[in-house]
Amino acid sequence: MVSVSKKLNITKLPSLSPKTHFTTQPFIPFSQLQQQRKHLETDLVSKLDNCRSFTRIKRVHAQIILNGLDQCCYVVTKLLRMLSNVGVPVNSYAHNVFDRVSHRNSFIWTALIRGYCVQGPVNEAVRLYSLMRMEGIGPVSFTFSALLKACSVCEDVGLGMQIHGQIVSVGGFGCDLFVANTMIDMYVKCGFLECGRRVFDEMVVRDVISWTSLIVAYVKSGDLSSAAELFDGLPVKDMVAWTAMVNGYAQNARPREALNLFKRMQDGDVETDEVTLVGVISACAQLGAAKYASWVRKVAEESGYRPTSNVVVGSAFVDMYAKCGNVEEAYRIFERMSVRNVYSYSSMIVGFAMHGHASEAINLFEEMVKTEIKPNRVTFVGVLTACSHAGLAEQGERYFATMQSCYGVVPDADHYACMVDLRGRSGRLEGALQLIKSMPVKPHGGVWGALLGACRIHADPDIAEIAAKSLFELEPDSIGNYILLSNIYASAGRWEDVARVRKTVRMKGLKKNPACSFVEGKDGVIHEFLAGDLTHPRSSQIKQELENLLEKLKFLGYQPVLSSVPYDVDDKEKMRILMAHSEKLAFSYGLLTVASGSSITIVKNLRICEDCHLFMCGASWVTGRKIIIRDNMRFHHFHDGACSCNNFW
DNA sequence: GTAGGGTTAG
């Protein structure tokens, strides 16, 4: 090796006078220059970090060029990331910046690839990845997680599997937690849960994120037992994991289990945030009891969340109070919310609709469209339901006709179901049938079900047969549809047809859903009554109370609606069956226990029958009590002998 | 840089 001194022949150094050569440039050691450059880099990177607009970024970019740092991968990587974050199309500005860098490292390549991953097209990201590999640049773990994330966003499992193959062939990255976790997420978001599970099972090291991704995947697929099994096996659970499981129960209509798990979460001193709260609030909404409503309100405030200052928590509370029968409190919260969004408005509109307050729902909708907030499909479901339940047929038709042209919401099968309901209820059964035939999308069970329900109200067994035929094809095992058809036949006295439907039900081995009602006693305990149930400890008192009431009602002219009994039995037996309906038993118990002057709230699993409806109207008059009944359709508020639904349900 | 969220009709 030739030494530098020999090569340059500098054994004899010329005697340079520092005076002549360094007068304007003071001597700065290299290490100090390096340090200065480092400071400059850090300074520009932090400036970039604070940029929230393209204009600001361009300004910093000019400084980067001025300082000669446009070849510095560290700074340019940050520049590319920020450009993509503020949404500047990656194929223009960012790509130019990238092209001008002569020596590119993995990070700068990855920043550009990420840009395409976020903005698309993903294929371009994959092409760049190949180019990078051809240039001999090795990927970093973030290169793969960005690519995998992109595959999950566009649900392209084929591409995802290609990336998976790359990860395996490059080697080493399969063990990277970030990469493996993103891979699980990619598979489950694409709907390949089993593949995600395989990745999970093959992982040597897992963290709470790996577990949670999979738990959520099981929750979304409705497989709660697999989710719970994983959750139980998770060694260290954090707030997100707990929340995933609590909300999993809530989303799958298992509110009691959601609340039990939440109590365990609290016992474990795990923090509660707004995401946890919405799940818990939604569970309480499903239970529909005032007891739970006040409990969760307290829980929220203890965790520092006020329904009026947090839009997500607030909207959940609006929905919950409406579902618990307290639409006044729902509106009180809604009114005081400092920020509202489409969820808040939709929840309130649907809440009003559920309680038969059609004009309030419509007024609120009109108020909403004057704001910046755009109505969505759920908002229109609420508005159309409100019109339908209040018999506002013309207004409903108008909203339906303009929802696409004025608000850009394309009517889907759910909206058609509302319209069939609206036309059907107002007696235009043929018009409803025509609407179904003209639908641009395939009608689902809800659409035919709405027609069948209307046939019950207007006693039309012929159209009911048409609706039922399609309905039985779509939902062959749904017992409610058979019962509805059988009841329509029964009201028309067509007992042979009733027998035929019942035979089908028996042959299919379908079991009838027993009717049951809940009422909250003054002790806060929820009492459940089944139809004809005499097992309650205070059964004889309940029966006596009911008989006293019946006497008074009869005196006022109440005549039992015997046609509400769909059995071919004598009138005396029909009377006995009617008096043992679960909501009547629950109401009678309420009279015995709920403080006088307070309203009585009953939750029923099936639709209230005509006789019970009439009975409750009279009972609210005779007893002076407000009676609120939530059936599986909506709320009925009985007061002074009338119901909020105007006998239209 | 990877995991958890609220409104829906018969």
Q: How confident is the model at residue A568 (pLDDT cuts 50, 70, 90)?
A: confident
Q: Which amino acid is at A66?
A: L
In this predicted structure, what is the pLDDT of residue A9? 41
Kindly tell me if the per-residue pLDDT of A16 is higher than 60: no
Question: Which nucleotide C1' is nearest A274 CA?
Answer: B5
Task: Note whether A616 and A638 are within 8 A (CB).
Answer: yes
pLDDT single digits (tens) A211-262: 999 999 999 999 999 999 999 999 999 999 999 999 999 999 999 999 999 9
pLDDT band, very low/low/confident/very high, at A174 (cuts 50, 70, 90): low
* Mean pLDDT within A354-360: 92
CA distance A547 to A600: 18
Rg (CA), chain A: 34
For residue A373, give the DSSP letter.
P
The residue that minimises its CA distance to C1' of B1 is: A142
* Residue A254 pLDDT: 94
Determine whether A492 is exposed, middle or buried from the number of CB atoms within 10 Å of its CB (0-12, 13-18, 19+): middle
A194 CA to centre of own chain: 24
Residues A90-138 pLDDT 10s: 888 999 999 999 999 999 999 999 998 888 888 889 899 899 999 999 8
Among protein residues, the one whose C-alpha sits closest to the C1' atom of B6 is A316
Q: How far is the CA of A483 from the C1' of B7 (A)?
A: 30
Report angle CA A474, A478, A483 to the nearest 5 degrees.
Answer: 115
The residue written with tokens 């009717």 in the block is: A515
pLDDT band at A519 (very low <50, low <70, confident <90, very high): confident
Nucleotide nearest to A418 (CA to C1'): B9
CA-to-CA distance for A411 and A421, rounded, in angstroms? Answer: 15
Nearest residue for B3, CA–C1': A209
Which nucleotide lies closest to A219 by the C1' atom and the CA atom? B4
Token pair listed for A168: 């395996």
A616-to-A178, A191, A583, A640 alpha-carbon distances in Å:
61, 49, 9, 10
Q: Are the beta carbons of A239 and A208 closer than 8 angstroms?
A: no
In angstroms, how far is B8 C1' from A570 CA? Answer: 42
Q: pLDDT tens digits for A438-460?
A: 999 999 999 999 999 999 989 99
> What is the band of A10 on the pLDDT scale with cuts at 50, 70, 90?
very low
Question: What residues contact residue A360 under an 8 Å CB cut-off, 6+ apart?
Answer: A331, A352
Q: What are all long-range contacts of A52-61, with beta carbons under 8 Å and residues at least 24 apart?
A: A52/A86, A53/A86, A54/A83, A54/A86, A54/A88, A57/A82, A57/A83, A57/A86, A57/A88, A61/A97
The CA–C1' separation of A414 and B9, in angstroms, is: 5
A305 and A274 Cβ atoms separated by less than 8 Å = yes
Instruction: Give me the phi and psi of A304, to 5 degrees please.
Output: 90, 20
A65 or A512: which leads in pLDDT: A65
Please determine, for residue A304, whether its predicted confidence score (pLDDT) is greater than 90: yes
How many Å does it take to go from CA A280 to C1' B1? 30
What is the per-residue pLDDT across A20-31, written as a single tens digit (0 to 9) for each? 444 455 677 767
Q: What are residue A520's DSSP bridge partners? A: A526
DSSP letters spanning A99-118: HT-SS--HHHHHHHHHHHHH
d(CA A605, CA A139): 58
pLDDT of residue A12: 44
For residue A510, pLDDT over 60 is answered with yes
For the beta carbon of residue A436, count every other beta carbon within 10 angstroms: 20
For residue A646, pLDDT over 80 is answered with no
Chain B nucleotides reached by a protein CB under 7 Å = 1-10
Q: Which residue is nearest to nucleotide B9 (CA to C1')?
A: A414
* Chain position carrying tokens 């200065």: A36
A130 CB neighbour count, 10 Å cutoff: 10
Percent over 70 (pLDDT), chain A = 95
pLDDT at A11: 41
Query: Measured in angstroms, what separates residue A582's CA from nucleotide B8's C1'?
Result: 28
Distance measured from the CA of protein residue A343 to the C1' of nucleotide B10, in angstroms: 24
Which nucleotide is nearest to A388 if distance is taken from CA to C1'? B9
Q: How far is the CA of A275 from the C1' of B5 (A)?
A: 5
- What's the Å distance between residue A542 CA and nucleotide B5 C1'? 43
- Identify, with chain letter, the residue nearest to nucleotide B7 (CA–C1'): A347
Mind giving me the DSSP string for A323-341? HTT-HHHHHHHHHH-SS--
**Long-range contacts, A259-266 (Cβ 8 Å, 24+):** A259/A283, A259/A284, A259/A287, A259/A292
Nearest nt to A182, CA vs C1'? B2
Predicted TM-score of the model (pTM) = 0.85
Is the Cβ–Cβ distance between A110 and A140 less than 8 Å? yes
Beta bridge partners of A643: A638
Q: Which amino acid is at A475?
A: E
The SS3 of residue A595 is coil
| pLDDT for residue A171 | 73
Average pLDDT, chain A: 89
What's the CA A236/C1' B6 distance, rounded, in angstroms? 28
Q: Do residues A582 and A529 touch, judged by C-beta distance below 8 A?
A: yes
Give the residue ranges of DSSP H helices in A408-460: 413-425, 429-437, 445-457
